[in-house]
Amino acid sequence: MRIKKHNVKCLLRGKHNVFPRSKHGSESIGRRTFLSGAAGFIATLLLSPVIARTVKSHASALTEDPWQTLSVVQDHLFPSEADSPGAKEINAISYLRNMLADLVTDTDEKEFILNGVGWLNELAIERHEAVFADLPQLQQSDLLQQISKTTAGRNWISKLISYLLEALLSDPVYGGNPDGIGWKWLEHRPGYPRPPTNKRYYDLLKI
């Protein structure tokens, strides 16, 4: 499951809405909703003894820093290509970290994005006995396709895509789009004056 770069250009140039934001708020979305639509996922959410032992063996991975998983998901959704930058090149994970650390960002949205990492890894372990980041790309794609069939899963992926596009387009002062790499790819000329590091929008809101 990946973003088509041609669709990104169409979206950003106003041709059509490729990735509409979900109308469903994140505050009402929980673990059960996120996972329940994945085909074949155990309906009762009670793990078998074998799966339970597998989850226990990966317990540290389920509770550790979520950024590795988020980075892998970003790379999968927005991969690097010969003629276009990917999540790595636009510093998407740095941008996401900055935004989630920002006091202006909605708390429910922060929790939803971070909790989604745990839910995704639980599903990966249930299906493949490994956390998401350790799976081959084909299995990663399959899991993302599965969760995209649920309202919560679509909403989670949609939010990550929104932050990816922001990282692609935002001023480098916010942590993404280094040296304007996204602007250059889109042949976009930024407006002036550009914000200095001490006058980013979230810094001004603290005054």
In order along its 207 residues, the chain shows pLDDT tens digits of: 666 566 665 656 554 433 334 444 443 445 545 544 443 333 333 334 433 444 444 555 544 679 999 999 999 999 999 999 999 999 999 999 999 988 778 899 999 999 999 999 999 999 999 999 999 999 999 999 999 999 999 999 999 999 999 999 999 998 999 999 999 999 988 888 776 766 665 655 555
Q: How far apart are CA 202 and CA 207, in angstroms?
A: 9
State how far Cα 86 lies from the chain centre: 13
Separation between Cα atoms, residue 124 and residue 112, nearest integer Å = 18
Residues with Cβ < 8 Å from 162, sequence gap 6 or more? 19, 21
Quote the pTM value.
0.72
Residues in contact with 31: Cβ distance below 8 Å, sequence separation at least 6, in sequence order: 115, 118, 119, 122
pLDDT of residue 102: 80
Q: For residue 129, give both structure tokens.
A: 């006995």
H/E element, 163: helix 151-169
Using a 10 angstrom Cβ sphere, with 0-12 exposed, 13-18 middle and 19 or more buried, the burial of residue 100 is middle
Cis (ω within 30 of 0) for the bond into 190? no
> What pLDDT is recorded for position 33?
55
Dihedral sign of CA atoms 53, 56, 57, 61 in order: positive
Residue type, 207: I
Q: Tokens for 131?
A: 């956390």
Q: Would you state the pLDDT for residue 85?
A: 95
pLDDT at residue number 46: 34
pLDDT at residue 103 in the model: 72
- pLDDT at position 6 is 62
The alpha carbon of 186 is separated from its chain's Cα centroid by a whole number of angstroms, namely 21
Backbone angles phi, psi at 202, to 5 degrees: -75, -20
Neighbours of 181 (CB within 10 A): 17
